[in-house]
């Protein structure tokens, strides 16, 4: 199973130019609002037409501008799951699921519907209409309907955007379970980096119509290749960097000199570190240890974000230079410790651009 996408499309004030491949591992398209995620899916589905390029699914050319090929949506053998599910309000759960199933006899049709109802665990609710279902149940029906046509590719466009946090978490779990037996290509579009990390194996990061990063999710999150990719994958600490030597740089905004784990170029521009990777230093004299002063905090139910000042002369200013994300227990243990604190950045945790 393989999808190859290499397309360009110009719109007023926006240019899409993307090239990537997907196999049967779920591929995430991550990007901010307006970055071109939906446009990419719409071009693959055949709802929009690229100006140039090629789209090939399992060796079948769906689109090729040079050869003048542009298969209509219904011949592309893929399912598109929209943000708002788009269930037919006047059809029951089973009618919705059975809607797209092609020329099959009644018995086979009913067998597919019943298998999909079981898959999404909505047995007993087959005769209900969408307005008699919760948001999460509607979402599952939409997924079952998309899978019932046995598509070669499944295009999921922010499928959880209408759900509350609790249901979102549940649905992420259901989706990964429901798709574990699906053999086709799955593209999952979202702007939510936690969701993309939980669901996908590989990742394409999009910004203003261009690809900023692509690869295994672990690699893209750990070492995003550009500043924008770092921001989109949640790196909270970013600074301009000055080259000092092949293995040392100065993080200008943090006012800290740092040793690096790999050789750096004298063209280096920026450095970053994830907020959860700062550590309390055991020994003040170790490499990459710096003094800091907690300026303020903000809390989630389980974590505390500590905003740190790293330059003592800035203590009076309303300004922080680094974010440190720790558990609440760590914060409670630390908060009354004498200042300055000594924190450390492991050289291999530095993200260098």
Ligand X SMILES: Nc1ncnc2c1ncn2[C@@H]1O[C@H](COP(=O)(O)OP(=O)(O)OP(=O)(O)O)[C@@H](O)[C@H]1O
Chain positions contacting ligand X, by CB under 6 A: 11-12, 14, 31, 33-39, 191
CB of 215 to ligand X, least distance (A): 20
Helix axes 165-179, 135-148, angle to 10 degrees: 20
56 Cβ contact partners less than 8 Å away, ≥ 6 residues apart: 2, 3, 4, 62
63 close to 71: Cβ distance less than 8 angstroms: yes
Write the DSSP assignment of 207-251 as a string of letters. Answer: ETTEEEEEEEHHHHHHS-SSHHHHHHTT--EEEEEEEEETTEEEE
Taking the least distance from each CB to ligand X, the nearer of 48 and 95 is 48
Residue 176: strand, helix, or coil: helix
Handedness of CA 256, 262, 268, 274 (dihedral sign): negative
CB of 44 to ligand X, least distance (A): 12
CB of 106 to ligand X, least distance (A): 39
Characterize the bridge pairing of strands 52-57 and 60-64.
antiparallel
Both tokens of 294, joined, read 């907690």
Other beta carbons within 10 Å of 254: 24
- Residues written for the chain: 353
CB of 39 to ligand X, least distance (A): 3
């Amino acid at each position: 199973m393989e999808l190859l996408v290499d397309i360009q499309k110009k719109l007023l004030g926006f240019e899409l130019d993307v090239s990537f491949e997907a196999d049967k591992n779920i591929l995430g398209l991550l990007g901010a609002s307006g970055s071109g995620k939906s446009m990419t899916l719409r071009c693959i589905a055949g709802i929009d037409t690229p100006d140039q390029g090629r789209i090939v699914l399992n060796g079948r050319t769906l689109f090729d501008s040079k050869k003048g090929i542009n298969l209509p949506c219904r011949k592309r053998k893929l399912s598109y799951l929209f943000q708002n599910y788009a269930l037919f309000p006047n059809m029951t759960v089973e009618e919705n699921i059975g809607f797209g199933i092609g020329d099959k006899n009644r018995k086979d049709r009913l067998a597919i519907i019943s298998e999909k109802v079981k898959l999404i665990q909505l047995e007993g609710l087959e005769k209900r209409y969408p307005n008699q279902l919760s948001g999460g149940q509607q979402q599952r029906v939409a997924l079952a309907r998309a899978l019932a046509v046995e598509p070669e590719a499944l295009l999921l466009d922010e499928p959880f955007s209408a759900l509350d946090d609790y249901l979102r978490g549940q649905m992420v779990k259901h989706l990964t379970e429901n798709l574990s037996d699906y053999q086709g290509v799955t593209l999952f579009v979202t702007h939510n980096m936690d969701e993309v990390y939980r669901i996908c194996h590989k990742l394409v990061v999009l910004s203003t119509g261009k690809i900023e990063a692509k690869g295994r999710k672990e690699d893209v999150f750990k070492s995003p290749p550009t500043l924008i990719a770092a921001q989109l994958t949640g790196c909270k600490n970013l600074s301009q960097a000055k080259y000092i030597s092949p293995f040392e740089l100065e993080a200008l905004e943090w006012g800290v000199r740092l040793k690096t784990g790999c050789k750096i170029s004298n063209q280096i521009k920026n450095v970053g570190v994830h907020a959860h990777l700062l550590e309390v230093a055991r020994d003040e004299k170790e490499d990459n240890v710096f003094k800091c002063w907690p300026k303020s905090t903000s809390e989630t139910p389980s974590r505390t974000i500590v905003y740190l000042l790293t330059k003592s002369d800035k203590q009076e200013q309303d300004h922080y230079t680094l974010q440190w994300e720790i558990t609440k227990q760590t914060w409670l243990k630390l908060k009354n410790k004498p200042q300055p604190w000594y924190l450390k950045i492991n050289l291999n945790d530095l993200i260098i651009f």
